[in-house]
């Protein structure tokens, strides 16, 4: 997977953001995927990484919704 390739080439950073920021980033990534120019204008790996990011942010959204569900 594309993420595994990144382990050797890049540093990682931790960023603290609100759930509103996570929702906005997920929306932005989803829109970027919709408007992605495609290969060869952009590297094919970029689209794969966008899918990875979209899914990762969506997992955070779902985790937050589950954690703060109202259960009566």
> What does the pLDDT read at residue 24?
98
Alpha-carbon 25 to chain mean position: 7
Across 20-30, average pLDDT: 98
Cα 59 to Cα 12, 32, 44, 50, 63: the distances in Å are 19, 18, 23, 14, 6
Global pTM exceeds 0.85: no
Position 5 scores a pLDDT of 56
Task: Report how far residue 60's alpha carbon sits from residue 66's, in angstroms, rounded to the nearest whole number.
Answer: 10
pLDDT tens, position by position, 34-61: 999 998 999 999 999 999 999 999 999 9
Where do the structural domains in the chain lie, given as residue ranges? 2-67
């Amino acid at each position: 997977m594309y993420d595994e390739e990144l382990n050797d080439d890049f540093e990682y950073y931790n960023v603290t953001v609100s759930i509103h920021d996570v929702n906005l980033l997920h929306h932005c990534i989803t829109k970027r995927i919709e408007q992605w120019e495609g290969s060869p204008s952009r590297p094919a790996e970029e689209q794969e990484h966008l899918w990875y990011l979209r899914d990762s942010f969506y997992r955070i959204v779902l985790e937050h919704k589950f954690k703060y569900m109202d259960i009566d």
